[in-house]
Amino acid sequence: MIPAPFDYVKVTSVEEALEALAEHGEDAKLLAGGHSLLPIMKLRLAVPTALIDISGISELSYVRVEGDEVAIGATTRHHELERSAVALAEVPLLPHVAGRVGDPQVRHRGTLGGTVAHSDPASDLPTALLALGGTVVVQGPAGRREIPVTEFWLGFFETALSPDELVVEIRVPRTGAAGWGYEKFTRRENDWPIVAAAAVQGRVALANMAGAVVRASATEAALAGGASIADAAALADEGTSPNSDMHADADYRRHLARLLTRRALEKAAA
């Protein structure tokens, strides 16, 4: 399978990326690791007229502490996040989840900004970020703006990002070693989750239970009201709208959401 023809532009700074986006218009796509984008281009589900390769923007590759938060540059690759001493100490959920994305070859190319901007409801890292809270920092012609993670993922492949903007940074609160859990059910080790649950400090997010990653609000409210983990987890699928497909029907996904939420919360409490 071979993608349809496109113009290829390699950029090395955020400014160059924004200029290229402005020049090539709405049909241009940003390319980072390419492991989500190229497969859909090969299937011709995406036919961008131009690819702007931002993988070489080294100024966006970092994991550092800034006050109460950890700031992670958008072109930080999954395998870098997996091994980041700062992330392991300050927000250990993230390197753990980064290590459960795909396989080593995929993690060698995939970037945090890429998976955030792609908005696949079955993505591991957005699920973890939604449970952590924090912000997605984007930059466009009008400058930088911060979008809370709760407002970023709007639906399948749909985000609050404008076509002339790019994700430059993700900021999450420092949790330290505080309790967290990530449970995912897959057909093959570290494949896309059929359902996954991330739990940290009383917040729970679910993968693949709606058009975008979604918080288990009923579970969170029950926990805040003093309910037991078992009782709160039993509400995890409330308000979700899971699909039925060849891997699992909607009812089975609801069952998985409740089960994985309980396990993730138990891990977080342990």
Query: Which residues contact another protein (rule: CB under 8 A)?
Result: 1-8, 10, 31, 34-35, 38-39, 42, 51, 53, 55, 79, 102-106, 108-109, 188-190
Give CA–CA dist 172/164, Å, rounded. 24
CB of 41 to another protein, least distance (A): 8
For the residues of 46-69, what is the DSSP string, one character each?
---SEEEE-TT-GGG--EEEETTE
> How many other β-carbons are positioned within 10 Å of the β-carbon of residue 108?
14
Q: Which is nearer to another protein, 103 or 158 (CB)?
A: 103
CB of 187 to another protein, least distance (A): 12
CB of 48 to another protein, least distance (A): 11
CB of 190 to another protein, least distance (A): 6
Would you state the structure tokens that stand for residue 126, as one six-digit string?
A: 């957005």
Q: Which is nearer to another protein, 69 or 191 (CB)?
A: 191
Q: Which is nearer to another protein, 34 or 211 (CB)?
A: 34
Q: Which is nearer to another protein, 102 or 211 (CB)?
A: 102
111 DSSP 8-state letter: B
Strands (E), the chain: 7-10, 28-31, 50-53, 63-66, 69-73, 135-140, 143-148, 153-155, 158-159, 166-173, 180-185, 195-200, 203-207, 214-215
> How many other β-carbons are positioned within 10 Å of the β-carbon of residue 85?
9
Give CA–CA dist 257/193, Å, rounded. 11
Would you state the structure tokens that stand for residue 237, as one six-digit string?
A: 């699928």
Q: Which is nearer to another protein, 47 or 177 (CB)?
A: 47
CB of 89 to another protein, least distance (A): 20
CB of 128 to another protein, least distance (A): 19
Q: Which is nearer to another protein, 5 or 176 (CB)?
A: 5
Would you state the structure tokens that stand for residue 32, as one six-digit string?
A: 């980072």
3-class secondary-structure state, position 88: helix
CB of 225 to another protein, least distance (A): 40
CA 33 to chain centre: 14
